[in-house]
């Protein structure tokens, strides 16, 4: 299976794989897809720089990309201390009370670290600056088109720009802003997601724009890749599936939670970032939808509020509370395997499906 996306990105298979793990990203690119590193977790741009230098080496000259989180309208900005002061004390109390009730211990001094700042526009800009000094093929933005000067800088260096869209009108506006590839992210996807399911969204976006479209959301098998291509996508964007690979070095609790979850065990909620995102449903997400839970704060305050709690939840080792964006495809993640084996199976099944479909003619 080859589409023109393969030529555009210099890859063997029209599979773009997003991961916050550089180990997963390197393995995807080495296996003939395009690995895209999620940069939001890097508070310090120098740390991102080090990881990208590692990727330059470990991808062995294969193309890769970087994903940042830049809302198209710049949200509240400021120093972490000042922003923290904007979080109502009742919200902090709710988080503390909930962690106590869920039996989640505090972090040890060694585990404690500052909250995630990658949601801040200034930090995302620093990510872009660092990334553009590496031989990346693609810069992607999870929340629509990056600012015009970022797009210009990328294009000046021959770097393609991709942006996620959950509606056809958004996709149109992304392309007007200069975006080269639209990722049509359906309701079923993990992380930030809209209301329209991929089956409807992908052909709508394909018909709305003249640039290549990647289908995102709910894709974890070759049959689903073939379906995405049938809908007119030139390839797929996959995120959740890699959480279940050997290279994604998660703790035992997350792995356990992912293996146990069915496709019904996710929830679309604003509690992670302030914008609707699909998460693993568990005792932590349930607490936020129970009566008496406070209203979710706008971006970036909500993530500042919960990011220390996320560290505690993750460190607790309890599979019933891990905070994790994941799509409905989590129901298929029932075995931990190396990225190369997963990718090879995807390609084989997609090819078999295209062959099977032809026999129906």
Could you list the residues that contact a copy of itself (CB under 8 A)?
A: 1-3, 167-168, 186-188, 195-201, 203-204, 217-219, 221, 223-224, 226-232, 263-264, 327-329, 331-332, 351, 353-355, 357-358, 360-361
Contact in structure between 92 and 63 (CB atoms under 8 Å): no
Shortest separation between residue 202's beta carbon and a copy of itself, angstroms? 8
Shortest separation between residue 191's beta carbon and a copy of itself, angstroms? 15
Q: Which of residues 50 and 72 has its CB atom nearest to a copy of itself in the complex?
A: 72
Distance between CA atoms of residues 271 and 289, nearest Å: 9
Contact in structure between 24 and 247 (CB atoms under 8 Å): yes
Q: Which of residues 92 and 223 has its CB atom nearest to a copy of itself in the complex?
A: 223
Residues β-bridged to residue 296: none
Cα Rg of the chain (Å, integer): 20
Residues 6+ apart with CB under 8 A from 316: 103, 104, 105, 253
Q: Which of residues 196 and 305 has its CB atom nearest to a copy of itself in the complex?
A: 196
Shortest separation between residue 217's beta carbon and a copy of itself, angstroms? 7
Shortest separation between residue 274's beta carbon and a copy of itself, angstroms? 21
Shortest separation between residue 235's beta carbon and a copy of itself, angstroms? 10
Shortest separation between residue 68's beta carbon and a copy of itself, angstroms? 26
Q: Which of residues 129 and 351 has its CB atom nearest to a copy of itself in the complex?
A: 351
Distance between CA atoms of residues 259 and 95, nearest Å: 27
Q: Which of residues 41 and 167 has its CB atom nearest to a copy of itself in the complex?
A: 167
Distance between CA atoms of residues 297 and 323, nearest Å: 17
Shortest separation between residue 360's beta carbon and a copy of itself, angstroms? 5
Q: How many helical (H) and strand (E) elements, i.e. helices and strands, does the chain have?
A: 14, 11
Distance between CA atoms of residues 339 and 249, nearest Å: 12
> What phi, psi does 64 have (nearest 5°)?
-145, 175
Closest by alpha carbon to 1, among 359, 318, 343, 312? 343
Q: Which of residues 10 and 105 has its CB atom nearest to a copy of itself in the complex?
A: 10
Q: Which of residues 177 and 221 has its CB atom nearest to a copy of itself in the complex?
A: 221
Indicate the length of the chain as a whole number: 361
Distance between CA atoms of residues 46 and 292, nearest Å: 41
Residues 6+ apart with CB under 8 A from 191: 142, 239, 277, 278, 325, 327
Q: Which of residues 110 and 360 has its CB atom nearest to a copy of itself in the complex?
A: 360
Distance between CA atoms of residues 104 and 207, nearest Å: 48
Shortest separation between residue 354's beta carbon and a copy of itself, angstroms? 5
């Amino acid at each position: 299976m080859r589409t023109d996306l393969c030529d555009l990105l210099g890859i063997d298979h029209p599979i773009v794989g997003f991961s916050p793990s550089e180990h997963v990203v390197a393995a995807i690119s080495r296996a003939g897809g395009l690995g895209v590193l999620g940069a939001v977790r890097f508070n310090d741009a120098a740390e991102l720089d080090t990881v990208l230098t590692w990727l330059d080496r470990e991808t062995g000259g294969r193309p890769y990309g970087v994903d940042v989180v830049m809302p198209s309208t710049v949200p509240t900005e400021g120093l972490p201390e000042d922003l923290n002061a904007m979080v109502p004390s009742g919200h902090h109390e709710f988080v503390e009370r909930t962690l106590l009730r869920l039996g989640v211990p505090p972090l040890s001094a060694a585990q404690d670290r500052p909250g995630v700042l990658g949601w801040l526009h200034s930090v995302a800009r620093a990510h872009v600056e660092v990334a553009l000094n590496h031989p990346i093929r693609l810069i992607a933005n999870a929340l629509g088109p990056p600012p015009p000067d970022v797009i210009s800088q990328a294009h000046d260096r021959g770097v393609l720009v991709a942006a996620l869209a959950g509606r056809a009108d958004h996709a149109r506006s992304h392309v007007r802003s200069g975006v080269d590839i639209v990722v049509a992210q359906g309701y079923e996807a993990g992380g930030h997601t809209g209301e329209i399911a991929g089956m409807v969204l992908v052909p709508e976006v394909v018909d709305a724009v003249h640039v290549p479209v990647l289908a995102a959301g709910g894709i974890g098998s070759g049959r689903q890749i073939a379906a995405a291509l049938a809908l007119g996508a030139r390839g797929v964007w996959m995120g959740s599936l890699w959480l279940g690979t050997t290279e994604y070095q998660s703790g035992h609790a997350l792995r356990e939670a992912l293996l146990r979850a069915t496709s019904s065990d996710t929830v679309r909620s604003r509690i992670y970032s302030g914008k609707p995102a699909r998460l693993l449903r568990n005792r932590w997400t349930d607490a936020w939808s129970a009566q008496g839970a406070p209203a979710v704060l706008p971006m970036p305050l909500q993530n500042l509020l919960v990011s220390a709690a996320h560290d505690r939840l993750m460190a607790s080792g309890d599979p019933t509370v891990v905070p994790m964006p994941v799509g409905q495809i989590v129901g298929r993640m029932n075995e931990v395997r190396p990225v190369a084996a997963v990718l090879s199976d995807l390609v084989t099944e997609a090819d078999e499906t295209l062959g099977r479909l032809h026999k129906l003619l």
